[in-house]
Amino acid sequence: MKNVLVINNLRKVYGKKGNMYTALNDVNFEIKEGEFVGIMGPSGAGKSTLLNVIATIDTPTSGNIIVDGKDIVKMNENTLSNFRREKLGFIFQDFNLLDTLSVRENIVLPLALSKIKPSLIDKNVLDIAESLGIKDILEKYPYEISGGQKQRTAAARAMINHPTLILADEPTGALDSKSSTELLQSLSDMNESENATIMMVTHDAFAASYCKRILFIKDGSIFTEIVRGGSRKEFFQKILDVLSTLGGGLSEM
């Protein structure tokens, strides 16, 4: 399997001389096509920083971020915005839907500048809405739907253009347990059936147990990683075991 993401000697230092904080310290890892990777670690470990520099929302201090063979650290703003649109899909904790657009319009947003035929777009929307269980709410507006439906709309938007890499930061953070489970099952299905490559930051061991591999970050560095072998339940237990050795206070995670 080819590498979708390669992170080399990644560092992120915030602040200026005299008041510097190293949020990421020499991080190295790879994600292969079709992987579903979780990023876990105590509060303040650097999880969001890591996701944000890969998402090109923030810039690293040094190191390489290679997506689909290209180093995004070296790209200029023009190239970057095309890159973001074509190669990345985003799912955030707070959904980030546009209130003035219907569910259908929110989902097709990433295709706004594409040259795909409208009839084909319609078909793609229906397919993805069907698999996420939101086909019946396509004409509704965000204020008319539940949190779980909002997040599945966001997931559909993240996947509509079949991005190289889907980035999710605490996607279940604002959901009740039933909606969380539905979303995680959907992400897992997309990963299995479409071979979607997903990197998900979460502090929640239950959410993480849907991943196939988990990287644990502590104090800006990778502490350890575990790979799912058996059932989700066994993996869940394994995650709890690592979290207990990780320290940093489970309660604040």
Ligand X SMILES: Nc1ncnc2c1ncn2[C@@H]1O[C@H](COP(=O)(O)OP(=O)(O)O)[C@@H](O)[C@H]1O
Q: How far is the CB of 47 from Mg ion (least distance, A)?
A: 5
Q: Which of residues 155-214 bind ligand X (CB under 6 A)?
A: none
Among 23, 103, 158, 167, binds ligand X (CB under 6 A): 23
**Residue 41 binds which of ligand X, Mg ion, none (CB < 5-8 A, kind-dependent):** ligand X
Rounded to a whole number of angstroms, the minimum distance from the CB of residue 60 to ligand X is 12
Q: How far is the CB of 184 from ligand X (least distance, A)?
A: 19
d(CA 92, CA 100): 19
In this chain, which residue has its C-beta nearest to Mg ion?
48
Q: Note whether 250 binds ligand X by CB under 6 A.
A: no
Q: How far is CA 20 from the centre of its chain?
A: 28
**Which one among 1, 21, 98, 195 touches ligand X, defined by CB under 6 A?**
21
CA-nearest of 99, 15, 49 to 217 is 49
Residue 52 in contact with Mg ion, rule: CB under 5 A:
no
What is the number of alpha carbons within 13 Å of residue 244 lying toward its C-beta? 6
Amino acid symbol at 171: P
Taking the least distance from each CB to ligand X, the nearer of 17 and 117 is 17
Q: Give residue 96's identity as a one-letter amino acid code.
A: N
Identify which of residues 111 and 199 has a Cβ nearer to ligand X in the complex: 199
Residue 164, interface with Mg ion (CB under 5 A)? no
Q: Which of 225, 98, 223, 85 is nearest to 158 (CA)?
A: 85
Strand order in the sheet with 88-92: 88-92, 165-169, 198-201, 36-40, 213-218, 221-227
Residue 235: both structure tokens together: 């993996």
157 with 125: CB under 8 angstroms? Answer: no
In the complex with ligand X, the residue whose CB is nearer, 21 or 189, is: 21
Nearest to 107 by CA among 64, 145, 76: 145
Comparing CB distances to ligand X, the nearer of 46 and 63 is: 46
Smallest gap, in angstroms, from Cβ of residue 185 to ligand X? 25
Largest CA distance in the chain: 58
48 lines the binding site for Mg ion (CB under 5 A): yes
Question: Per CB under 6 A, which of residues 30..49 are in contact with ligand X?
Answer: 41, 43-49
C-alpha distances (whole Å) from 153 to each of 104, 149, 182 are: 8, 6, 12
**Taking CB within 5 to 8 Å according to partner kind, which of Mg ion, ligand X, none is near residue 49?**
ligand X
**Which residues are at the interface with ligand X (CB under 6 A)?**
14-15, 21, 23, 41, 43-49
**Which residues are at the interface with Mg ion (CB under 5 A)?**
47-48
